[in-house]
Each structure stands twice: as C-alpha cells, then as structure tokens.
Amino acid sequence: MKIGELSRAASTPVETIRYYEREGLLPDPPRTHNNYRVYGDEQKDRLAFIRHCRSLDMTLDEIRVLLRFKDAPGEDCGAVNQLLDEHLGHVQARIAELRALHEHLQILRDQCMNTTLAGDCGIITGITRDAASADAVPRPHELGHVHGTHHAHGSRPEGSAPSPRKR
C-alpha cells in the first residue's frame, strides 16, 4: 500500500507517518520504480504499536527502547521493566500535579459563586493575585513533569505539525 492507504488503514495522518520515519521509529519503506513508498502489514503493525505507546503518553525515546526490544525478542526485558517503572513514576507525578491544579481551580471557582461585573469577579481577582505571587501555585516544571515532556526528547501529539525541536 502507498502512504495514503497506510494513513487511512492506521487512522494516522500522513505527516505523522513521515515524522515517525524521520525519527527512526518506522524504518524507511521499500520504494517502487516510480519512487513511491510501499508499505505492508509489518509497517502497519509497527505503526499501531507506536500509536498505542503514544496513547500511554510515552515519549519517542521510550518508544525507541521498546521497539529495540520488540525487534530483538530473545533479549532480557529488564530494561523494559525499568522503563515502565520510571514511566509509572511520571504518571504518578502528573496525577499529583493535576490534583493540585484541581484544588487550586476549585478554590478560584469558590471565590465567585454568582455572576457579577468583571471588575468584582472573585476568579479574576484571585488569578490576578496569584499571578503576582511567585509561589502561589507550583508550576508544572517544578513538579518535574509536563504532559509529553518528562524526558529531554519527548514527542508531539499525533496529527500536529512537527516542531523544529524535539520536545
């Protein structure tokens, strides 16, 4: 199948497939005499694996590690266990961050129970006050994890334009 057919079969934008090829997650496919990329079930299955890992909020670097082991089924999987343990730690940190965010938003919401003039709005007043205070709310980078960036070389959401730098 050509790249457009793979895109439809895998419900993945063509740009994302090309991005994964550039990142080395999908090997360069064979080409026809007309220089068209030709994909088969192997590439479709690999793309499904990558997409599932992304749905688990794994970075490209984490996926690279998993793919190396997937491609070497006779290897010891201790590093895979360690990778998942570390990823679980990032998820737990993210949950704590989201709980703190929820609490803070709830406090803001409780400051304005009725609609008023914007100048008297407790939410606007609270956000303004918090913005002026350097330590009002922990910033995501202070917690050590922001969605999709818990490693130096994270990745972008599927379907979005590639960034000039790896996140």
| pLDDT above 90 coverage of the chain, percent | 60
Under 8 Å between Cβ of 160 and 14: no
Closest CA to 154 of 139, 166, 142: 166
| Whole-number Å distance between alpha carbons of 161 and 138 | 29
Task: Supply the Cα-derived Rg of the chain in whole angstroms.
Answer: 22
Under 8 Å between Cβ of 31 and 37: yes
Q: What pLDDT, on the 0 to 100 scale, is given for residue 119?
A: 86
Q: What pLDDT, on the 0 to 100 scale, is given for residue 115?
A: 85
The structure's pTM equals 0.69
Just give the CATH number of 3-55.
1.10.1660.10
